[in-house]
Amino acid sequence: MKLFDCHTHLFEYPRDEITEILDRAQDSGVAGAILAGTTIETSRKAIELANLDTRLFAGVGIHPMDIEKQPSDENIDEIRHMLDDPRVVAISEVGLDGMEGAPSQDLQECVLRMHIQLGHETGLPIIYHARFAYPWILDVLREEKAGALGGAAHYFQGDLDTAYKCIDMGFYISLARPLLRIKELQEVTRKIPLDAIVLETDCYPQPFKKKRENWTEPRHVLEVAEAVAELKGLELNQIIEQAGDNLIKMLGQRSTEVTRLLGE
């Protein structure tokens, strides 16, 4: 079994770097990645790239911080059409953001509900963003019965109670590099069951980091997996196996290609 990065924005990197990035990931035992779109345009880009490299898969969605206005019927049809692409494995990145300056709460909620409804039409899982958005988002997910679709709480940094609420609703806790430094998150990780964990990097280009080798890439999923192993007092292999099984379960009907890749 291999590792996998269930949430990235690799389409933001120069296209001629993507193959090297994926090769470096493979050298670290990370077989592939999901590219999470943040707008209709980048969702389209994610699908395009996922059709060019067998290690890539796409998520489609409008990020709460990128909502400009109520999506038109035409926009919704376009999203629906994109979800049909066999390389699309999740509705992502969607969610709620409570940060100052974010779009209005009503608009964000409406767009998230629209995405969840598309999830019910397609059966695709929801990999969601929630910044300063608990418990708000749990109410919306519950009202829209998103638990039936499952998915993941992406870049999770909440407390133990919140983690259990997500898990109980049917979502995986998706851990990224903040696990390496945030003590509270390490405590939460120690306590939640291993069969509730998936791994990611949320990587995008980081020009503010002077050294290129310090930019986060899918290869860093290995570090996150090692941290989980240490926190739980388990072998790295056990983390790799379980995280792989969790991912396959989370992706459900569209997991076939990912399963193949993880087993290669």
Chain contacts with Zn ion (rule: CB under 5 A):
93, 202
Least gap, CB of 198 to Zn ion (angstroms)? 14
Nearer to Zn ion, 85 or 93 (CB): 93
Structure tokens at 211: 């050294």
Least gap, CB of 264 to Zn ion (angstroms)? 26
Least gap, CB of 230 to Zn ion (angstroms)? 25
Structure tokens at 88: 């699309």
Least gap, CB of 176 to Zn ion (angstroms)? 9
Least gap, CB of 202 to Zn ion (angstroms)? 4
What value, to the nearest 5°, has the Cα angle with vertex 167 and ends 120 and 6?
A: 70
Nearer to Zn ion, 202 or 217 (CB): 202
Nearer to Zn ion, 162 or 174 (CB): 174
SS (H, E, C) 10-40: HHHCCHHHHHHHHHHHHHCCEEEEEEECCCH
Structure tokens at 74: 């035409």
Nearer to Zn ion, 5 or 202 (CB): 202
- Determine the Cα–Cα distance for residues 175 and 157; give it in Å rounded to an integer: 8
Query: Closest by alpha carbon to 129, among 98, 160, 83, 165?
Result: 98
Query: Closest by alpha carbon to 178, among 213, 224, 215, 140?
Result: 224
Nearer to Zn ion, 5 or 93 (CB): 93
- Determine the Cα–Cα distance for residues 33 and 244; give it in Å rounded to an integer: 12
Least gap, CB of 232 to Zn ion (angstroms)? 25
Position with the least CB separation from Zn ion: 202
Q: What is the DSSP letter of 200?
A: -
Nearer to Zn ion, 93 or 144 (CB): 93
Q: Where are the alpha helices (DSSP H) in the chain?
A: 15-27, 40-50, 73-83, 105-122, 136-143, 160-169, 183-191, 221-232, 236-251, 256-263
